[in-house]
Amino acid sequence: MSARTVSEFTLDPVDSERLANLSGPFNGHLRMIELRLGVEIANRGNVFRIDGPAAAVGQTERLLRNLWKDSAAETLDEAAIHLALTETGADQVVADDIEPQEVAIRVKRGTIRGRGANQAKYLHAIATHDINFGIGPAGTGKTFLAVASAVEALNETRVQRLILVRPAVEAGEKLGFLPGDLTQKVDPYLRPLYDALYEMLGVEKVVKLLERNVIEIAPLAYMRGRTLNDAYVILDEAQNTTIEQMKMFLTRIGYGSTAVVTGDLTQIDLPKHQKSGLRDALDVLRNVNGISFTFFEAKDVVRHPLVARIVSAYDARDAKDVETGPGV
């Protein structure tokens, strides 16, 4: 971790329209750069002050100077800022110097912040990466925080639509006997996503957005053949994807989109001989730059205190089975 440093500089010539173009609506462009590069940016007019790790501060100053030149000839939007960050390789250079910053999410129910270090890290990762994995037991806030982040992005028009996806895997029960068409059969599997949306936006608004296809809730199989641009996509219960399904889902992501994949590797409902797509992705993508992994544990459970103890008890049993063999 490099030492923190401060840099002050002036962007010339003084031009209020260019400054507004660079900063973005409500300083949104500057906030995006702060989160991606792990720095604090303050300015009074054209005089900027950057505080953070030395490598990140240098990268941020160069980035702002380049964007200042661009601001004279083009209108900067979030896509342009994202592209500039990617082209300069700034993320890669300073990745090791970034300390997770607190991310506050503002939705209808109020302001949501991470509870504990892992949730804070998770929210920061979602804000700074295009593809994110949240892996851990039930009750750790993986899906809830992902949906909250997605709702905020939609409210701030950073994305055009929300797509929430789940694999419709039978957890020891058969779907065929249930009445109704396919949508009615799989709706119960998608219910937790509806519940989270209702809490964030209210039932009436969710219904309207569903009718306009601004929000789409669908089984994973419906994603094949699509390219998702300017969308916030959440894949829940990802431990029940196959390897092929996971690859299919991750390669749907288009420009301007964010994807969050959540799952619990102790709750796999696939046939015994089939490897989970989530476990495979963990093996294959763990060191791919631009993809984040956040791992939750029993101590991160935010439900009833007994839930954390139950998770710990099962973890201990599973660890013993690994050492001695099942049933010993």
Highest mean pLDDT among 96-100, 178-182, 188-192, 200-204: 200-204
259 neighbors 250 (Cβ within 8 angstroms)? yes
Residues 129 and 270 in one domain: yes
Q: How far apart are CA 157 and CA 38, in angstroms?
A: 23
pLDDT tens digits along 72-93: 999 998 778 877 887 766 555 4
Same domain, 174 and 261: yes
Domain total in the chain = 2
Whether 296 contacts 142, CB under 8 Å:
yes
* DSSP secondary structure letter of residue 38: T
In a domain, 270, yes or no: yes
Do 128 and 256 share a domain, yes or no?
yes
Residue 309 lies in a domain: no
| CATH code, 29 | 3.30.1370.10
- Residue 41: its pLDDT value, please? 94
Strand stretches in the chain, DSSP E: 4-10, 40-44, 47-53, 105-107, 110-112, 131-135, 161-166, 215-219, 231-235, 258-263, 291-295
Give yes or no for residue 44 having a pLDDT over 50.
Answer: yes
Highest averaged pLDDT of the listed ranges 61-65, 185-189, 215-219: 61-65
User: How would you class 102 by CB atoms within 10 Å of its CB: exposed for 0-12, middle for 13-18, buried for 19 or more?
Assistant: exposed
Residues 240 and 277 in one domain: yes
pLDDT, residue 224, reads 82
Residue 308 lies in a domain: no
Q: Are residues 65 and 190 in the same domain?
A: no
More confident of the two residues 187 and 193: 193
Based on the fold, state whether residues 126 and 92 are members of the same structural domain.
no
Is residue 214 assigned to a domain? yes
Condensed to tens digits (0 to 9), the pLDDT of residues 106-163 reads 766 677 777 778 888 898 889 888 899 999 988 888 988 999 999 988 988 888 999 9
Whether residue 166 sits in one domain with residue 38: no
Per-residue pLDDT, averaged over 13-29, amounts to 92
Is 326 within a domain? no
- b/e code 60-71 from CB counts within 10 Å (16+ = b): bbebbeebbebb
| Same-domain status, 137 and 59 | no
Whether residue 310 is contained in a domain is answered as no
Indicate if 290 and 172 belong to the same structural domain: yes
What is the reported pLDDT for 163?
92
Tell me which residue range forms the domain holding 237: 121-296
Whether 113 is in a domain gets the answer no
Average pLDDT of the segment spanning 217-231: 84
Contact present, 234 and 146 (Cβ < 8 Å): yes
Task: Report whether 233 contacts 161 (CB < 8 A).
Answer: no
Pair 39, 125 in one domain: no
Query: Does 251 lie in the same domain as 132?
Result: yes
CA dihedral 54, 56, 59, 62 (to 10 degrees): -70
Q: Which residue has the higher pLDDT, 314 or 20?
A: 20
Does one domain contain both 214 and 279?
Answer: yes
**Residue 278, pLDDT score:** 95
What's the chain's average pLDDT? 82
Query: Can you give the CATH number for the domain in which 193 is found?
Result: 3.40.50.300
- Asked whether residue 48 is assigned to any structural domain, the reply reads yes
> Which of 120, 237, 144, 136 shows the shortest CA–CA distance to 194?
144
pTM across the whole model: 0.68
Higher pLDDT, 254 or 315: 254
**What span, in angstroms and rounded, lies between the C-alpha atoms of 153 and 27?**
15
